[in-house]
Amino acid sequence: MSRSAFTTGLVTALAFAVLILVFFALLGKPPFVMVSNLVIYAVGDTYSISQTFAKTTPILLCALAAAVPGRLGLISVGAEGQLYAGAIAGTGAVLLAPALPAVLLVPFMLASAALGGAAYGCVPGLLRARLQINETITTLVLNYVSVLLVNALVFGPWKDPESQGWPATAFFPQEAILPSLPGTRIHLGLLLAIVFAIGLHAFFTRGPSSQKIRILAGNRKVGEMFGLNFGFWVVAMMSLGGAIAGIAGIAEVSAIQGRLQPNISLGYGLTGFLVAWLSRHQPLVIVPVAFLVGGLVAASDALQLFAKVPASSAVILQGLLFATALAVPGLMKQMRLGFGR
Amino acid sequence: MKLRHILAASLAISAMITAPVLTPASADQNKIGFVYVGPVADFGYNMSMDLGRIYLEEQIEGIETSSFENIPESAEVEQVMERLVQSGHGIIFATSYGYLDYAISLGKKYPDVTFLHAGGLKTSENVGTYWADSDDGMYLAGVVAGSKSESGKLGFVGAFQIPQLFRSINAFTLGAQSVNPDATVTVVWTGGWWEPQKEAEAVNAFADEGIDVIAEQVDSPITIAQTAEKRGVFVIGKDVNIMDRAPAAWLTGVSWNWGPMMKQMVDEIHAGTWESSHVRSDLAGGAAVFDPFGEAVAEATQTKVLALKDDIISGSKNIWEGPILSQDGTEVAAAGVALDMDAVETMDFLVKGVVGSTN
């Protein structure tokens, strides 16, 4: 890590700390007690750590899903929709073959979720590659479609007849539940996410295609002069990102909810997108950043408990984090340029 | 980042998992947690539950309450309730319909904690339910609506197709039909407890169709009442009395008074006499309240409805007494026969005269 990056990180952290202290003071709460409570409720005991990892997992996967097309210079905000698409495809697999033993059912479920997410990412990829339609807009609007598709399914054909009108599928059989550490919500999805992060790091820095992607991201025209196919890589990266978000979706459904229903994601797609940008699309940086944000999300859940403040305070804290993390580096760059003049 | 760093980081993380800084507190029955599906300031269902919480704080010495608002009916609520358990809460009020399965599964994991669920149909060793039947009140409101309506067309905005809602809609319809046999009730489902936009759209669509009295069962009557006020149609409130927010549109409503019921359950838990059961109250019990009439209700209607209310409270009138026909004309209860408690609690049909689907 270069010295200036370290300084930037430090100043960002300080600025965020000052802002949340001010925020708590404005609420009329003892600011230092509140901040230490946040830390305790993020990593202070086994349960808090389990909660932090439970929130980290989908955020990490969605961040990777946004980072993959990001390496090619694409701005995809579609992780949320791809997450839901993966949840649908994975649930479809479970409904199709509920009697399979776990060793077959879990891989089948994960694979079809990945395919579902990939297909959902592939569409805006194709539109961009063939018709030059902006992928940011298409991924954004497609998010709504798959969220509503889940509603259509669980209010309609997939509704558990025994749920007394409640919109959800039946609970998954035990064989379709991702394994987790006993007594916690730390599940196989976290391990997969870390493996993906390491694999993507290798792929983007050392893999045989890493150079091609870097050239295309830097200057598409130059890349095409060398005979590289931009369209192919757009579709490939969008699909790969979609597949990862699809895994996030089925992991939430299987390990956390136990069934498909509305509200499976608490905005993980967008949070993941911000994490990817904060980490400059570097998979190995995304892992700790997702952990920090996951901790903040988990602890700010508990904020209502120890601080007795309204639920919206948690949203404000997360907003403050992202705003400082995006604003401070820009401001510092500006100031450095100013001094240099 | 080198492999060395990754190894160091994963070691640090595993150390954190194996060496907890805090140990979970044991269940303290003076720490009472509340979980709400919407905002506390919704002027509706969640506020009614929170008024119960405030009542407990005033009435029982030495207790401490905590509350979580805006918690979705997904596995998220399980995590929030577990957070309450971990911080030593011995009693948890799970106040939304969709929380029940999660309360039961957590109850198995934490047998020392008592969970009290609003309106559920299942119990377990340490999960009891509480509810106040507003059916009688909705029937009375139906009588008011049926007397007021000129078109004979009434509307109902409902959240989900669940038994609680079918009961309200049916009671309301039967009440209206008792004064106007041709009255119809058109139902719009919003698919969510808190969907102000859809609720406003539904009221506007109702008003355009010539429907002139609108009842509802969503989280809060506020959007529906205020839209009705603007459109010049009448409204039946629910959960919290918001008469002053829509004075011209307000006919009456059915609200809650959870405090005394909650206090009784908590007192029993403290005394060690509590046993898991379905605690139920109604108009007669006092947890369901028939709200005051608005200015638009004629004197004669008021007198008649209040007399009917006395009959219901004294037990001489049962609103679920037949003949009751379902939408397709099937006889559900024959003349002179009343539906039993079980049939009412698991109601899955709409009565004849209701326009809307049950699935």
A78-87 pLDDT, tens per residue? 999 999 999 9
For residue A335, pLDDT over 90 is answered with no
For residue A1, pLDDT over 60 is answered with no
The answer to whether B91 and B63 have CB atoms below 8 angstroms apart is: no
Indicate the pLDDT class of residue B19, thresholds 50, 70 and 90.
very low
Note whether B126 and B142 are same-domain residues: no
Provide the pLDDT for residue B112. 94
The answer to whether A172 and A258 have CB atoms below 8 angstroms apart is: yes
Provide the pLDDT for residue A339. 61
Give the lowest-confidence range in A149-158, A228-237, B18-27, B276-285: B18-27
Domain for residue B235, yes or no?
yes
Number of domains in chain B: 2
Can you give the CATH number for the domain in which B293 is found? Answer: 3.40.50.2300
Higher pLDDT among residues A341 and B270, named by residue: B270
In sequence order, what are the beta bridge partners of B155? B186, B214
SS3 A155: helix
Mean pLDDT over each residue of chain A, to the nearest integer: 89
Indicate the pLDDT class of residue B161, thresholds 50, 70 and 90.
confident
For residue A175, pLDDT over 70 is answered with yes
For residue A341, pLDDT over 70 is answered with no
Higher pLDDT among residues A39 and B92, named by residue: B92
Indicate yes or no: CB of B76 within 8 angstroms of CB of A310.
no
| CATH architecture under which domain A56-308 falls | Orthogonal Bundle (1.10)
Q: How far is B53 from chain A (nearest CA, A)?
A: 14
For residue A337, pLDDT over 80 is answered with no
> Structure pTM?
0.82
For residue A340, pLDDT over 70 is answered with no
Note whether B86 and B164 are same-domain residues: no
Indicate yes or no: CB of A257 within 8 angstroms of CB of B75.
yes
Domain for residue B343, yes or no?
yes
Note whether B220 and B110 are same-domain residues: no
Alpha-carbon distance values, A292 to A270, A321, B140 (Å)? 16, 10, 55
Q: How far is A256 from chain B (nearest CA, A)?
A: 6
Note whether B32 and B107 are same-domain residues: yes
Domain for residue B39, yes or no?
yes
Note whether B186 and B232 are same-domain residues: yes
Residue B108 lies in domain: 28-132
Q: Which residue on chain A is closest to B85 by alpha carbon?
A: A47
- CA-to-CA distance for A7 and B28, rounded, in angstroms? 47
Indicate yes or no: CB of A44 within 8 angstroms of CB of B162.
no
Note whether B127 and B207 are same-domain residues: no
Note whether B222 and B337 are same-domain residues: yes
Interface of B with A (CB under 8 A): 1, 6, 9, 16-17, 20-24, 33, 39-40, 66-70, 72-76, 79-80, 82-84, 86-87, 97-98, 121, 160-163, 165, 191, 346, 348, 358-359
Indicate yes or no: CB of B84 within 8 angstroms of CB of A45.
no
Q: What angle do CA A195, A201, A203 make, to 5 degrees?
A: 100
Note whether B128 and B141 are same-domain residues: no
Percent of chain B with pLDDT over 70: 93
Percent of chain A with pLDDT over 70: 97
HSE (side-chain half, CA atoms, 13 Å) at A243: 14
For residue B21, pLDDT over 50 is answered with no
Tokens at A262, concatenated:
């509305």
- φ, ψ of residue B271 in degrees (nearest 5): -80, -10
Residues of B in contact with A49 (CB under 8 A): 16-17, 20
- Taking residues B325-350, what's their average pLDDT? 91
Provide the pLDDT for residue B24. 59
Please report the ipTM that was assigned to this predicted complex: 0.80
For residue B25, pLDDT over 90 is answered with no
Q: Which residue on chain B is closest to A191 by alpha carbon?
A: B10
Task: Single out the residue in B92, B109, B132 at which a domain terminates.
Answer: B132
Can you say whether the dihedral through the CA atoms of B99, B102, B103, B104 is positive or negative? positive
Give the lowest-confidence range in A55-59, B304-308, B355-359: B355-359
- CA-to-CA distance for B163 and B349, rounded, in angstroms? 8
Note whether B84 and B224 are same-domain residues: no
Domain for residue B120, yes or no?
yes
For residue B143, pLDDT over 70 is answered with yes
For residue A172, pLDDT over 50 is answered with yes
- Chain A residues 109-148 within an 8 A CB cutoff of chain B: none
Domain for residue B19, yes or no?
no
